[in-house]
Amino acid sequence: MGALLLCVFLGRKNKRKAARDVSYFILALLPPMLGNLIIIVSSTESFALVGSYVYFLGLDITVLALLRFTTDYCRMPFKGTLLRRVIYALVIFDFLQFALNPLTGHVFHLTPIDVEGSAYWLLVPAIGQSIHRIIAYGIFFASLGIFGYRTFTSPRFYVERYLIIFISMVVCCVLESFYIFSSTPIDRSMIAFGLFGLLVFYFTLYHKPTHLLNSMLARVVRNMTEGVLLFDRSGSCLYANKSARELFGIQEEADLSGCMALMADLVDEPSLRFDADWSRKRTVEIAGEVKHLEIGLRTIEEKGAVVGAFLSVRDRTEEDNRLARERYMARHDRLTGLYNQDYFYAKVSQLLRRDPEGQYVVAAFDVKDFKIVNDIFSKEFGDKVLVAMADCLRDVAGRQEPTVIGRIGGDKFGLILPRGHYTEAACEKELQRVCDSVSEIGQNRNYSIIIHLGVYYVDGPSLPPSVMYDRAFMALNSVKNDFQHHVAFYDDRMRDDVIRRQRVANELEEAMRSCQIRPYLQPMVDSNGNIQGAEVLARWIHPQEGLLLPGRFIPILESTGLIARFDAYIWECACLLLREWGKRGIDKFLSVNISQRDFYFLDIYEVISGLVRKYGIDPSKLRLEVTESVMMSDMRNRLETMNRLRADGFLMEMDDFGSGYSSLNMLKDVPFDILKIDMMFLSASENAGKARVILQTIINLSTELGITSITEGVETKGQFDMLLDMGCRLFQGYYFARPMAVEDFEEQYLVEESTL
């Protein structure tokens, strides 16, 4: 009992849960043992009775604790199960029948006998005793069964864990049976209990199943992907696992004596020394294959002396190759094999850091209308163009090391190279070579590929490479729509321009809200000088920059798409004015400009017809000016829009007639009501004579076609007289008036009229 108490004490001190479970179980063993002891030593009946009750009830507690320990140890579900409730009910029932025993005597009574000269109270069992035994032994055998089940069904590795407890239980059981079936009067089963407790305690907490561990470790080492070789102190190889044999081509049964030399060779040493641990990486050729190996040596010591060592060899070839592949993919463009954007920037910055005094240029390349190339000739052809382009750039770069080339995205490429003689002419020449060789791949397609180049002179490594590239690209953008120049060099004005564009775009909304954007009116007069109407021309009265003409902001708004919002605003201003004039009985028209870009962003028909409906205006009072560029794309839809507007009563004016490439053709296909002849025919140039002939022809042509013509840009009386002679009947120009604020226009031209 003392030993068991010590086990309880040790178990409670141990932090492991298993230790606490075991100590509970051993604690539960003590009551029946105590009862047993009392029975043995008692000389009076009442003393022996107390001992018997302690023994029987303690036994119930013991088997319950055993069952709990068993289910925990064997990881069987028990807590919260129905079985647990039934077992507890049975034990409570047993308790009750013992409680009734003093009255009924149905479980047992005691009778004195003489054993070797001293008095002993022998237990005489009755029916209740059998019930008690069924319950107690039932629970005991259930636990035994669980251990038996685990012993026979667990994988070989774990059998030992269960087998030991199972055997302990069987031993205990045999001892107990021996007492029950032998005719020994004195019950010494407590010895079996105590023994069982000690065995369980030892095997659960202190016994290391070395066989289990050894076989487990051996199996782990055998099947490890790492090669493992074990050497004794003298350097003979005792063991090489499967991976090591496979890696070095050592047969299963082969002699391992050559291993030491093999390994020493691997790490370029005459022999392996076992004085310290180390690890190294090596790239070697084994059976014609290049392998990346990571080799580590660990010494094995016993009592401070080295008794051997094991060598681990990890084949990193696949992993290294995969990493290298992934690194390549993360840094390169798949199609062209050039660096991708991020890596290009990283390499540029590395180059500039290494050579801060060097003179470099960052160049941005872009294929003109690459989308069209893709659309017309297929994506595959587009890819070929990009690959050819990359090859050309490699070629250019190859001649001027050190360089870095990257594909920034889509058809955009970046290059950094020594400044050398990078003049505009040299660049144009170089670029032409690139264009020519790229175009070669599309030879029989009748399409010459144009490439644009923007150049930024690097001024030390202070700017991030992405900004340098952006600047080169900014330069490129400035020649994107230029048919003659394909190369541009960055200067700070470009940046200012971009900043200005950004500012315009940012300020526009507020400008419209606070009436900085205003419609100015320029009169359109007839041959008698009478005002027929006016063209609405936008002005921006900027708080800092003063009056801005459309040339300063319309192109920016067009390039950002904000033009649609802007024009809708101007049209609404015009409608408001027309409604006002209508109320005052003023019968004048207003012409508004429609940008080509408006057609992309607006349903022009809906917006304009909606406005005249909203303000109750006669559509013929709102004339619509479009230039021929409107018809350059999506002609069918745009014609339909114009026809619908004309059907509603709007008059369509063709603005800047004669300034474009296909004005005459346009006249044939598009139903205009009015031709606004471009002011360039009036300019005094060397070809003034020819211009006059053309002017006369246009005026005649429009008369023949029944189209009204109006000439813009009339600046002098002479021009006016000439146009009158030519048969023109409507005029607009500084000779009559400059564009002016609405109030000025009304004051100058409308007051007299409404007072007439």
Contact residues: ligand C2E, CB under 6 A: 522, 537-538, 549-551, 554, 567, 570, 593, 595, 625, 655-656, 679, 712-715, 732-734, 739
Considering the complex, what minimum distance in angstroms separates the CB of residue 728 from ligand C2E?
Answer: 14
SS3 514: coil
What angle in degrees, to the nearest 10, is found between the helix axes of 189-201 and 156-181?
Answer: 170
Task: Round to whole Å and give the CA distance between 85 and 97.
Answer: 18
Q: 């146009």: which residue's tokens?
A: 723
Given a contact cutoff of 8 angstroms between Cβ atoms, the answer to whether 239 and 229 are in contact is yes
Residue 570's binding partner, choosing from Mg ion, ligand C2E, none, with beta-carbon cut-off 5 to 8 A by kind? ligand C2E
CA terminus-to-terminus distance, the chain:
133
DSSP state of 268: T
Residue 595's binding partner, choosing from ligand C2E, Mg ion, none, with beta-carbon cut-off 5 to 8 A by kind? ligand C2E
Residue 533's binding partner, choosing from ligand C2E, Mg ion, none, with beta-carbon cut-off 5 to 8 A by kind? none
Task: Round to whole Å and give the CA distance between 432 and 426.
Answer: 10
- The footprint of Mg ion on this chain (CB under 5 A) covers a number of residues equal to 5
Considering the complex, what minimum distance in angstroms separates the CB of residue 699 from Mg ion?
Answer: 16
Per-residue 3-state assignment (H helix, E strand, C coil) for 443-466 = HHHCCCCCEEEEEEECCCCCCCHH
Residue 593 binds to Mg ion (criterion: CB under 5 A): yes
Choose between 315 and 712: whose C-beta lies nearer to ligand C2E.
712
Choose between 227 and 533: whose C-beta lies nearer to ligand C2E.
533
Considering the complex, what minimum distance in angstroms separates the CB of residue 540 from ligand C2E?
Answer: 10
Residue 746's binding partner, choosing from Mg ion, ligand C2E, none, with beta-carbon cut-off 5 to 8 A by kind? none
Residue 366 binds to Mg ion (criterion: CB under 5 A): no
Residue 21's binding partner, choosing from Mg ion, ligand C2E, none, with beta-carbon cut-off 5 to 8 A by kind? none
CB atoms within 10 A of CB 381: 16
Choose between 190 and 592: whose C-beta lies nearer to Mg ion.
592
Choose between 21 and 567: whose C-beta lies nearer to ligand C2E.
567
Residue 598 binds to Mg ion (criterion: CB under 5 A): no
Q: How far is CA 282 from CA 181, 291, 297, 316, in A?
A: 74, 8, 14, 10
Considering the complex, what minimum distance in angstroms separates the CB of residue 677 from Mg ion?
Answer: 9
Choose between 572 and 753: whose C-beta lies nearer to Mg ion.
572
Task: Round to whole Å and give the CA distance between 42 and 447.
Answer: 120
Choose between 369 and 715: whose C-beta lies nearer to ligand C2E.
715
Choose between 364 and 675: whose C-beta lies nearer to Mg ion.
675
Considering the complex, what minimum distance in angstroms separates the CB of residue 431 from ligand C2E?
Answer: 34
Helix-strand-coil split of the chain, %, nearest 5: 55, 20, 25
Choose between 63 and 554: whose C-beta lies nearer to ligand C2E.
554
Residue 402's binding partner, choosing from Mg ion, ligand C2E, none, with beta-carbon cut-off 5 to 8 A by kind? none
Considering the complex, what minimum distance in angstroms separates the CB of residue 714 from ligand C2E?
Answer: 6
Choose between 160 and 655: whose C-beta lies nearer to Mg ion.
655
Choose between 235 and 739: whose C-beta lies nearer to Mg ion.
739
Task: Round to whole Å and give the CA distance between 384 and 445.
Answer: 13
Q: Of how many residues is the chain composed?
A: 756
Task: Round to whole Å and give the CA distance between 11 and 21.
Answer: 8
* Site pattern 704..723 for Mg ion (x: CB under 5 A): --------x-----------
Given a contact cutoff of 8 angstroms between Cβ atoms, the answer to whether 228 and 238 are in contact is no
- Map the footprint of Mg ion across residues 637-656, applying CB under 5 A: 655-656
Contacts of 264 (CB under 8 A, 6+ apart): 270, 271, 272
Given a contact cutoff of 8 angstroms between Cβ atoms, the answer to whether 345 and 464 are in contact is yes
Residue 551's binding partner, choosing from Mg ion, ligand C2E, none, with beta-carbon cut-off 5 to 8 A by kind? ligand C2E
Residue 197's binding partner, choosing from Mg ion, ligand C2E, none, with beta-carbon cut-off 5 to 8 A by kind? none
Given a contact cutoff of 8 angstroms between Cβ atoms, the answer to whether 547 and 510 are in contact is no
Rg of the chain in Å (alpha carbons): 52
Q: Which long-range contacts (CB under 8 A, 24 or more apart) does 234-239 make?
A: 235/260, 235/271, 235/272, 235/274, 236/260, 238/308
Q: Which of 160, 187, 558, 625 is close enough to bind Mg ion by CB under 5 A?
A: 625
Choose between 163 and 674: whose C-beta lies nearer to Mg ion.
674
Considering the complex, what minimum distance in angstroms separates the CB of residue 389 from ligand C2E?
Answer: 37
SS3 692: helix
Residue 739's binding partner, choosing from ligand C2E, Mg ion, none, with beta-carbon cut-off 5 to 8 A by kind? ligand C2E
Q: Where do contacts with Mg ion occur on this chain (CB under 5 A)?
A: 593, 625, 655-656, 712
